[in-house]
Structures are given as structure tokens and as C-alpha cells.
Structure 1
């Protein structure tokens, strides 16, 4: 008897370039930084919003946003980059060009051609003699010789599989998709990459800036592919031919939402209300579309109540903090010179879904790795921690001596 059970699928969204399926059959896109993808459980789910709360001294929110936009441009996604000042496509990092597998294959082939054939044959005979001696000592029957190839004995079956089977890079060439490209922060993206990408950079300032932002997000969502939950709903404003392929996946990047540079021209309470209203509309638009958003929020410039409500609207919240050179953390961590910030995953959609708990480490370190950023778990150097404890102990002893008499005083008044 045939079963009527049919496994539900999310359509063919995961087959598009730049997306992959998650643990619970959700579609994920990369942030452009592999370390950040790992913290978020593999990437950003489509239809979600990631908030980056940063202080006034942390520029890494903009760097993560550049990673996010550059990844979308490299994958061919539709990207809308918004800010108080017009974002420049030249600020995106250049796609790193690792050494291709073809170049490595040609190099190894040239090296093999330079070898002396006689030495290679002698090496094979030596291995054959050693194998025969081991078999005689162990009492095992000798392997059959292959005299078809100029009298040279055949290699073991395991070696034959290694030498004859194609490399994984060859089998996946042209068929496997790139996930989380590598970028060089020291170089700007080439003009050809920004021209061919579906990238739109917009400036939003003035009293109607938030309304225009919501309208542009609505227009972008209408051009993207829809999820299966919303495919049956009629929409008069939807274009008859939506985008196909990687361009049907959207990315929304908003830099410094609600800063003074937006010049909304309203008091602080009204500004907070407008920000919450616009954020709610944007989240509702993205929830039914194949699009995700990354928004940087200056937590120090907004009211505490507004920041708390924005955290509730965000599906994932990441807090970025600066590190002072004279702080205790900078003195106790290893390689403090490369440390440039702290990162905390304050909220994630995984905890509510039950897919995966938050990272065990509460605090992560942002480091400069030559041409890229790296996120590592905060690890305290034992020697530095002991030195810090000894320094604190000396301070307490000095304070006690200043506030009391000498150590061998007979009475409290004996100085």
C-alpha cells in the first residue's frame, strides 16, 4: 500500500546561487563573514531582520554591513543599500582571488613532468620489494603482479583509488555553489563587479525619509520572488514578470538608522515613534518575501525605551562594543594588539525555534587579520590574568598602608 505522505519543501529557493537549506528546511543566506555565519547558526534566514547595536566608538557595524552588501553583489542578489549619506559602491571590499584549482593542477603537472622517469620507476620497485618482504614475514599470499604496464608492478588498491579518482574539486567544479565569499578589506570592489550587480544605493534625509524608505522597500519586495505562503495572495501592484534566478533573492542594508544625520526634524519621543513604526512596516514586508535585512542602530543616540522595542522587532540582535587600550580586557587577552572590538549575540532566532542554543561564550573578540575581520571566542591569557591579579593586590596593599599605621605598630596611635 502506497503512503500518501509527501514531504513539504520550500520550493526551489535553496537551489539559487548564494542560498542553502538550514537545519529545519529554512533558506539561509550568508552574511559575507564566515565567523558571523557560525554565530548565527549557518547564516541569515530569509524574511528576518538582523540588528547590529553599536556604540559611538565602534565602526565595525558599518564593516559588517559592507560584508553583507558585498556578498549580495558577488552572488547576484538584489541589494538595496540605504543610509543618511549616499553609500558608495566603491567602499565595498574586493572579492579575494584565491588560487584556483586549475592553476594548482597545472603546477603539480609541471612538477611531475620535471621528475626523472627512471627515479619514479625505481621508487615503485622499491615499494614493491618492501611489500613482498612484509608479506613473506607475515605469511600472507603475495599479491598478483600487473605486467601489462611495461613490467612495472601495480600499486596497492588503495593507492590506485587515490591516484585514479578525480579530486573533489574537479567533480564539484562548475556545479558547486560558492558560500560565503572571501573579501579583501584593503581593496575596493572593481567597477565591473558593481555595475553588473543588482545594487541600488540610496540616500534618505529629511522629514519624509522614513516614509520614502518604506516605499522603496515595498517596491523592492514586489520585484522579488515570493514564498509559497504568499504566492496565492493576489496583489495588483505586483509586476507580471518577477525577477528570476539569484536576482530573486533580496538584501536590505540600512546604515545608522535614526541618527542625527537623517535630519527627521522632530523631537526625540516623536522620532522614536516614527522609527518603531517604520521598522514594524519593514519587518512585515520582509516576512512574506525572499529577502533579509541587516540594520545598524546607534544605541547611544536613541532613547533606551526605543532601543528595547527595536530589539523585540529584530529576529537576531548583535551588540558591538569598543575596547579601550587601557582596559582590563585588553591587558588580559592574548594578542591584545589585534583586538579591535567585542561582540555579543544578545538574541537569535535559534533560541526561540529550538534549533540550536546560543553560543556558550557570552563575549567574542573582533580581531584584525591583515585583510579581513575575524571573530573569536574571548580567551583570557593565564599569565596576563595572574599579572592583573597581582597588580590589583599591590594596589590594595598600598591603599591599606596609606590609610593605617605601619605593619608592626603596637597601638593604633603608634606612628
Structure 2
């Protein structure tokens, strides 16, 4: 009885296991996040790319900026010490690894300069779009508007900055373990995919290769990792193109999308049960059938689209001179919550500078050309007549209304 006098309640002590390097928990749902290598992109998708999720990037027509996003993702993995898995059907993964941008790690002055440059570009609509001497020409309705910040930055820094004009050192590249999958080396030209049914033979080989790395390296928890917990970053370049053996862009028939959707379904199963995250660039502009694009989006967690201004009318338009393209947020993940974190704006644009790839709120300056002013004179006069007729005798006899 004396032994029963004491309480049997004991406080459960949680194991304080440190998270993997280069990760942090989300403030919204507690999901473990890693940086994509672009801080502004991390801000848009909810603070970073969640571990165990898939990010699909719809390529621009010339594939330059989507390829750059993939390089940033891989470069961030190298700096954080994460394991890498790079798959491609056109460029060898070794070439992609050698073309990674150089990080700004030890040069504090360059880092501060890059951050200051980003903050200076987040001015209001009157800043940087209109010179001080021309302030009197701005309409009164624009002068009284509140300032609009165009830069997308969070209070806490996450991720690193990179110099696109320089390449990463070989010593830093070799400091992490990198697995590669080059389709011409993995799949012979005379191979037949009949044994795999409707599944693309190259996709089957890629899935098996990713699954083998996850199991052998212990990213699925089957075997304990020998060192500190690590993350596997998977980057697949221009997936679903003709070089991968797909013809969905030519046929436009939903039947030809079964192979692609089956791969994405199986890949998400591997990601959900492992410490890994994946970015896939897809040439969506080649796929004419919207049903296929919808299936790809439903089988992905996050989907963004890049629309480059190269060889388009907007390239020569002075209103878009400060940007290189538009960024479209197609889908955001809903993890451990009923609703997703929706960004405060849908009008986003990106620009690539020497040391920064930034995504900003697209805020165009007001059109103050002479043609607009002349065309609006008649409308203003007609409105003044209507107002003067209904404002009583005090307003009569005045040709102009002063507001």
C-alpha cells in the first residue's frame, strides 16, 4: 500500500534528435523544410520545399531559366552537405554538376551587397520607375498610394546566395556524394519495353535506381545511417521529353500519359517514405492536351511555371524591362493542414542578375504617355458635364472640377 501511495505519472521525455543539416521545421505545420537555393522561391512555396515532396517546374521554351533553378537546387544541396541524385537524358549529370554556380559563403561583403541589392529593388511604385524631377507629372491618384514592396523575403534567412558568373570549385563539388542517371548509358537503343507493359522502359530503370539509392543509403530508415541524418536531393532534368522516349507532346492523346503518371505516382510513394525531396523540370509547352497537364499537377505537390520573355513581344516592351519572365504558381502543397499557405499575390516575375535569381511581385508603372492623356481628355470633359448638371447651382458656370 505504501508503494501505491506515490503517483504513477511520469513525464515523457522526447528524444532531442537534431534535424538534418540544411533543414528547418515549418512554422505553419511543423513539416521539415529544405531550401530550393532561391530564397524568394522558398518564400512563395511556404518557407521551403518540404522533405518527402515533389516540385514540378514547367520549363520555359528555351529551357534556360528552368535549368538554372535545377542548378540552384543542386548547388544548395552541395553547400548543405546533402546527397545528390541527378538524372538527365540530354546533358550528362557530370556536366550539370560542373556548371553549378559558386556560393557566396566566406565573402561577407558580397553577401551583404547581394542582400542590399535585393532590398533596394523592393521599392514603391514611384521609386525606380519615375525620376524625382518628373514627380510632378504623376497623376494625383498614384502619388497618394501606399508603398508596395516587390521583393519577397522572410524575416529569417534560409538558404544561400550564389554568383552565376562563377562556377563552384571542384573540391566543394566532390565533398558530397552524387549519384547520376544518364539515360543513354542506362538504356540501350535496341531495348524493348514490352516486358514492362505500358510503363516506359527508361522510367522503370530510373525508379529502380532511385529506390536502390534510398534503400542502400538508409534514407528510408530501413538501415540506420552511419553518420548524422542526411537528405537526398533528387533532380530530374527535362523529364517527359522526346529524349526520354515520350510522345505525349506529338500525339496529344491521354492514353500516352499513363507511363508518365505511373512514374510520378510511384515516385511520390518513394518520397513520402524517405528523407528525400525532388525537383523535376517538365517541357509542358510541348504537351497540348490539358488533361495530361492536370494529371501531372495532381500527382505533384508543388507546381510552378516559367514564362520567359525571350523572343516575345514583352522582351521589347519598356514596361517589362526590369524582368526576364513571369512565374506562375499552379499548385501549392497541403501537408498536415486542411488548407495551403496561399501567397499574397499571384502576379510574380523573375529576373536573373549576376549574383541573384530573384522572384518579385510584378508591379508595372502607370502608363503616362501623351496618347493616353489625349484620349482621356474627352472622357474627362464629358464626366465634368454630367457632374456639373447634377451638382446644383453652385457648380454651374465652372468648366473644370477641381478634385
Q: So what's the TM-score if we normalise by structure 2? A: 0.67
Q: Is the 8 A contact 1:226 1:289 kept in 2?
A: yes
SS in 2 for 1:196: coil
Deviation at 1:390, TM superposition (A): 2.0
- The 1:6/1:371 distance shift into structure 2, 3 A limit, reads same
Instruction: Give the match for residue 21 of structure 2.
Output: 17
Partners of 1:42 and 1:182 lie apart in 2 by 16
Q: State how 1:276-291 maps to structure 2 within 5 Å.
A: 276-291=261-276
SS in 1 for 2:321: helix
Instruction: Give the match for residue 242 of structure 1.
Output: 225
Instruction: Give the match for residue 381 of structure 1.
Output: 365
Deviation at 1:332, TM superposition (A): 6.3
> Where do 5+ consecutive residues of structure 1 fail to align?
105-176, 232-237, 395-415
Instruction: Give the match for residue 46 of structure 2.
Output: 41
Instruction: Give the match for residue 210 of structure 1.
Output: 203
Partners of 2:108 and 2:315 lie apart in 1 by 40
Q: State how 1:15-414 maps to structure 2 within 5 Å.
A: 15-23=19-27, 24-85=29-90, 86-87=92-93, 88=95, 89-100=97-108, 179-205=158-184, 206=187, 208-225=201-218, 238=222, 240-245=223-228, 248-264=230-246, 268=251, 269=253, 271-302=256-287, 303-323=289-309, 327=313, 331=317, 333=319, 336-350=320-334, 353-354=337-338, 357-382=341-366, 385-387=367-369, 390=372
Deviation at 1:17, TM superposition (A): 1.1
Higher alpha-carbon Rg: 1
- Cα-to-partner distance string for 1:271-302 (whole Å, 9 max, x where unaligned): 42111111111111110101011111111222
Instruction: Give the match for residue 409 of structure 1.
Output: none
Partners of 1:83 and 1:354 lie apart in 2 by 35
Instruction: Give the match for residue 173 of structure 1.
Output: none
Q: Is the 8 A contact 1:29 1:43 kept in 2?
A: yes
**Which aligned runs of 4 or more in structure 1 are off by greater than 6 angstroms?**
1-5
Partners of 2:335 and 2:369 lie apart in 1 by 38
- The 1:3/1:357 distance shift into structure 2, 3 A limit, reads farther
Alpha-carbon RMSD across the aligned residues, in angstroms, is 3.3
Deviation at 1:337, TM superposition (A): 3.1
- The 1:4/1:298 distance shift into structure 2, 3 A limit, reads farther
Partners of 1:20 and 1:264 lie apart in 2 by 37
> Where do 5+ consecutive residues of structure 2 fail to align?
1-6, 113-155, 188-192, 194-200, 377-403
| Count of aligned residue pairs for this structure pair | 303
Q: So what's the TM-score if we normalise by structure 1? A: 0.65
Q: Is the 8 A contact 1:204 1:262 kept in 2?
A: yes
Deviation at 1:15, TM superposition (A): 2.5
Higher helix share: 1
